[in-house]
Amino acid sequence: MTRARFGGGGARPAPRSLNELMGQALTMEREAVARYTELADMMETHNNLDVAALFRKMAGYEQLHVEQILADMGWAADVVVPRQSGVWGTPESPEVVPIEDMHYLMHPWHALQAALSAEQRAEAFFAEMAGTAADEAVRQAAEEMRREEAEHVALVLEWLAKVPQPDSDWSVDPDPPRHMD
């Protein structure tokens, strides 16, 4: 279902300041909140409440990151940070689960796989930022963000260990939705 979306494409521009790094981190976290919420809504529409609950929980974790960044930086909740061209090399930030990876019959295992990939991309992004930062404060902040994403990876892996992998015929719907013109 998921595919690599971060990596390749050459080196990304290193953040020049703590404000720049944290601005991009804020954008990333806000996009993750929005996508996890969108996915939860999608799953609720299809009466897939277990997966919806998982996505809402992930949105909550990402919202905590948003609030922490705002507090750490002393920024107002409505601060707008423009995207920096080429920072993550894809239209969406590394922590965003691709919408095309969703299926209305997906199981919690699939949702966790998608979340795991997103968290791993975010961890890799911050590791790269820490490794390329010229400024020590930027390097330390990027490393702290990497550690937080690593904690999310570990959390999702713990959840995955508790959820059964679905059978190979999980996407077969004996009564699929009908499209009518």
Range with the poorest average pLDDT among 62-66, 106-110, 158-162: 106-110
pLDDT tens digits for 39-80?
Answer: 889 888 878 888 788 889 989 999 999 999 999 999 999 888
Reported in sequence order, the residue ranges of the chain that DSSP labels E, i.e. its strands, are: none
* Residue 125, number of CB atoms within 10 A of its CB: 26
Which DSSP string corresponds to 76-88?
Answer: -TT---PPPTTSS
What are the phi and psi torsion angles at 18 (to 5°)? -65, -40
DSSP assignment letter at 14: P
From 78, 161, 49, select the one nearest 112 (Cα to Cα): 161
Q: Exposure string (b/e) for 22-53, b if CB count within 10 Å is 16 or more?
A: bbbbbbbbbbbbebbbbbbebbeeeebeebbe
pLDDT score at 118: 93
Architecture of the domain whose range is 18-78+91-161? Up-down Bundle (1.20)
Question: What residue segments make up the domains of the chain, in order of their start?
Answer: 18-78+91-161
Reply yes or no on whether the pLDDT at 33 is more than 90: yes
- Rounded to the nearest 5 degrees, what angle is found at the Cα of 77, between the Cα atoms of 80 and 83? 20
Length of the chain: 181
From 140, 143, 126, select the one nearest 87 (Cα to Cα): 126
* Residue 98, number of CB atoms within 10 A of its CB: 16
pLDDT band at 110 (very low <50, low <70, confident <90, very high): confident
